[in-house]
Structure 1
Amino acid sequence: MTIQQHSGFYVVGVAARTDNTAERNGKGKIGEIWHRLLRDNLAAKIPNKLGIDLIAVYTDYEKDHSGQYTYLLGLPVSSIHNVPAKFVAKHIPGGRYAVVTSNRGPVTKVVPETWQRIWSMSVAELGGTRSFRADYEVYDQRSADPEKAQIEVYVGLR
């Protein structure tokens, strides 16, 4: 794990409100968001995109990881002008982020395992107190094969 400081950026994609209880119980919305983005090739229709790495954003937290949040799957963009109505734009605030790298394996296994690891970390282990403003996952070339995926989770810190 490392700590990185970065300036903010925008992500445009598809979004829904959900919570971790619904996601664990099979009543969540994250799987459908992934299915919709990939099935309809929506990433290709996002204007002003910067690269091809998918970003999964967790933001608009009700309180912390136990409450509702907005999940957005999309791409970083250079501008949020002329965003089509089917998409949502969210700003990832600048600041300090703990960067946690997942193990390699099936994406449906390594992502929840990585979040479980993050939730069990102390403030000292994480490198600071979580801000619950925005966290995000990066799906780059290491996750091209969903059975041998590795991702990075950026956890916003105060």
Structure 2
Amino acid sequence: MERSQNLQKFLNGLKSDLPSFEEADFTDINWCNHEGENALHIAVIRNELSLAKELIDLGIEINARGDLGHTPLHEAASMCDLSMVKLLVESGADLHALTEGNPPFTLARFSKKDDICDYLGAEMNKVQQKDPTAWAKAQISYLKREIARIEKQYGVASA
């Protein structure tokens, strides 16, 4: 799939607008800044639904972890409208991804986004019905990432 002019303009704009993206090499659609954010994070933060959809269609990593471990769904749950959240969920975003121990649902609750909470709650329930261990797996994955981060920070090798 070829990139639209709007997407190319958006990507070029990121390089000039955001210091953490000025060295971006968007020949790789999954390029991430030093915090792990990709172009989808920024499209979501800016509530650019059509650009987010195009990035997803191009195969961008939908569950990339940016600042504090936020995925694009975390950003959408706290900042955007329900249509962005639905796009991400329907495209395979991890409903149980944890950032500082919180799933996207909790960030929506903190932001008083009741419509998003209702939707995410129902979707999380569907996942839990299919896989009752989904929540435990999310917590284990979070703890493994935290252990790796701490080991790296202090130069400690795994046992």
Larger strand share, 1 or 2: 1
Same topology, TM > 0.5: no
Report TM bin, short chain.
Answer: under 0.3
Which of the pair has the greater relative contact order for Cα pairs under 8 Å at 6+ separation? 1
Q: What TM-score do you get using the length of structure 1 for normalisation?
A: 0.25
Q: What TM-score do you get using the length of structure 2 for normalisation?
A: 0.25
Larger helix share, 1 or 2: 2
Please tell me whether Structure 1 or Structure 2 has the larger radius of gyration of its CA atoms: 2
